[in-house]
Chain A
Amino acid sequence: MSAIVQTLVDGTKKILNPGRVCATTGLSVCRTAQQFIKLNAVSAVVFLLIGGVAALLLALTRWQTVHLLNAEWFYRIVTLHGLNMLIFWILFMEVAILYFCCTTPLNSKLFSKKVAWVSFGMMLTGALMVDYIILQGQADVMMTSYLPLLAHPLFYLGIILVAVGTLIGVFNFFATLYIAKRDKTYEGSVPLVTFGATAAAIIAVVTLLHGAIVMIPTFTYSMGWTPQPDPMWYRLIWWGLGHQSQQVNVCAMVSVWYFLASVTTGARPLNEAVCRTAFVLYVLFINLASAHHLLVDPGIGATWKIWNTSYAMYLAVLASMIHGFTVPASVEVAMREKGYVRGLFGWLTSAPWGNPGFSGFFLSLVIFGFGGGITGVTLGTQQINIIAHNTLRIPGHFHVTVVGGTTLSFMALAFYVIPLIFEKDFIWRKAARLQPYLFGIGIVMLAVGMSFAGSMGVPRRSWDIDVAGVYGPAAHLMLGFVGVGGIIAFVGLLLFVLLCVGTLFFGKSTKGRAMTDWGVAKAPAGVAVTRLEEHDLSATKGTFAMVLIFLACFAVYYFANWKALADVWPVR
């Protein structure tokens, strides 16, 4: 419980971090940062629950057999779901992650408590304003709020407050990096987890600047002070906010993967320089993916579209493939070093699947990489996009990236954050071990249903498809998958919320002792841990086999889509 003290060359002592020492990890935890990690994380879970209830209502409406909501409430709940899940849950959680990554790994204190309060206050006020005005029925414009649709001014003001509040939180992160370097609280380069968080923060700056550029004139228009912004300009700049905010997630999620791989299996990055280079590729190129949303817009030329969604953006895809290889490969090396060397996948079957931190992160990696990666690159191809745009295939894609990937990895992180930061051991530990599977299976089922229904032409954001009279039983079956998958995923989400809230109130305190182990990978009795030599290719042969499976799946899906395009637009 003591402060971290550094003895300087002249013999004087300097308090670096007026915090506590974690009894589990031995790392210092800044108390101010801890307070705001708690506040932001709790707020994030509340908004997750609101968005989750909305998700269930939507799934039960798109399931045509149930068709729960009427048209008015469907579009209202679509708006509520999108903003709470894609913006509020994610941004609050990311600020919590940023505050952790700039303090504990660097042995530093948070730059400013006042700045953290301003950031949190603005974000919370803004988010509550937005939810209130949506439920009042004065902002049925969906998350994108495309002009000329117009919402109540408080809707735009709320989003501006959330964006600026987050930007202030990101400033607090960068300022903490500055004082940590100035005070020499660490030596050499920042740890990889902090580097990944820095990449996320840089992308957040670009994202939130776009948010300010597009939302301020839209707010002044809604007040009647200025003319209406051009709708095409609005779409261009809005996607600089809407898609890029999800790229912040990708960076934060990858950092979480590296962290959880390390704490659950003892994995260490295969090659730090390569991993960091992949993050740099994200910083430079991943934001260009926003152009995917404008691929069928007539106002912008093909050169801009192809450059931004193909040539330049593929450098960010390369970065994802690097992380997608190095994270499981580092787990494989760590497991083989512990003696799990049987066959191609003995290391994987022996992994600590009962640890929700591991199962959550690994499922997130597979769902994001296989489901999200393959569909994302395919749908982002300009020619193929013409048969997928505005169909349910698009939400099918982003539910495996943002939900199956990011949300599941953040949930997995919570199984360590709550014992380490809130100092409480989880209640209902058996249920906690099941939670990642329940949520993961539900989301995959939902996304598969959406993707196949979309492939049959079922549109996204449509209250009723039966009026068209063109969709047969197969499309309805897939919408049934969406409904059932949505129910399973919601049960997983509800269980997660109950576990978190129940633990905060009824969990056993871990103050002064290590958290109760979830079960990490250990060497079997009588087997000595050996360190594998660098460049030992056999150490990652299982991961390489998975890469080949991935490549085969990608090739089949990608070329099947070209065939589908040829079928609707035959060349004779």
Chain B
Amino acid sequence: MNDETEKKPALQRLMDNTWLLLALGVIVPFLSYTVWGWIELSLLKPALLP
């Protein structure tokens, strides 16, 4: 059984590992969309009123 597992391609192992997929599925969009966007907004300086 272990030999069979070792012979599986990396992509197949990823697809069979629900928890790794879950972790990647949460981390990638959080970093790319949420955290990056949040940082950009937090770095904005207050607008000066005319």
Contact = CB atoms under 8 A, between A and B. Distances in A.
Given A205-B26, A283-B25, A308 B38 contact: no
Interface in A276-296: 276-277, 280, 283-285, 287-288, 290-291, 294
Contacts of A550: none
Contacts of B18: 174, 177, 198
A206 B25 contact: yes
Nearest to A237: B34
Contacts of A284: 24-25, 28-29
Interface in A291-307: 291, 294, 299-301, 304, 307
Nearest to A201: B22
B34 A236 contact: yes
Contacts of B37: 236, 291, 294, 300, 304
A199 B14 CA distance: 13
18 contacts: A198-B18, A198-B21, A202-B21, A206-B25, A236-B34, A236-B38, A237-B34, A244-B29, A280-B14, A283-B24, A283-B25, A284-B24, A284-B28, A288-B33, A299-B41, A304-B37, A308-B32, A308-B33
Contact of B22 (A202, A273, A288, A299): A202
B43 to A, nearest CB: 10
Given A206-B25, A280-B21, A189 B16 contact: yes
Q: How large is the interface on B (under 10, 10 to 19, 20 to 34, 35 or more residues)?
A: 20 to 34
Q: How large is the interface on A (under 10, 10 to 19, 20 to 34, 35 or more residues)?
A: 35 or more
Contact of B40 (A189, A198, A288, A300): A300
Which has the most chain B C-beta neighbours within 10 Å: A177, A199, A273, A300? A300
Contacts, number: 81
A263 interface: no
Contact of A209 (B26, B32, B36): B26
Nearest to B28: A284
A53 B25 CA distance: 36
Chain A contact residues, majority secondary structure: helix
A214 to B, nearest CB: 10
Nearest to A203: B25
* Shortest 7 CB-CB contacts between residues of A and residues of B: A287-B29, A202-B25, A283-B25, A236-B37, A300-B40, A284-B28, A276-B15
Which has the most chain A C-beta neighbours within 10 Å: B30, B40, B44? B40
Contacts of A198: 18, 21
Contact of A285 (B22, B28, B41): B28
A233 interface: yes
A463 interface: no
A189 B36 CA distance: 35
Interface in A246-289: 273, 276-277, 280, 283-285, 287-288
A232 interface: yes
A240 interface: yes
A195 B15 contact: yes
Contacts of A209: 26
Contacts of B32: 288, 307-308, 312
A230 interface: yes
A277 B16 contact: no
B12 interface: yes
A277 B34 CA distance: 24
Contacts of B36: 304
Nearest to B39: A304
A109 interface: no
Nearest to A230: B41
B11 interface: yes
Interface string A415-450: 000000000000000000000000000000000000
A62 interface: no
A206 B26 contact: yes
Interface in B1-19: 11-12, 14-16, 18
Given A273-B11, A277-B15, 7 more contacts: A206-B26, A206-B30, A232-B41, A240-B34, A283-B25, A284-B29, A300-B40
Nearest to A202: B25
Contact of A290 (B11, B33, B41, B44): B33
Contacts of B29: 206, 240, 244, 284-285, 287-288
A476 interface: no
B40 to A, nearest CB: 5
Contacts of B11: 273, 277, 280
A299 B36 CA distance: 12
A210 interface: yes
B44 to A, nearest CB: 6
A290 B38 CA distance: 14
Contact of B41 (A195, A202, A233, A244): A233
B2 to A, nearest CB: 16
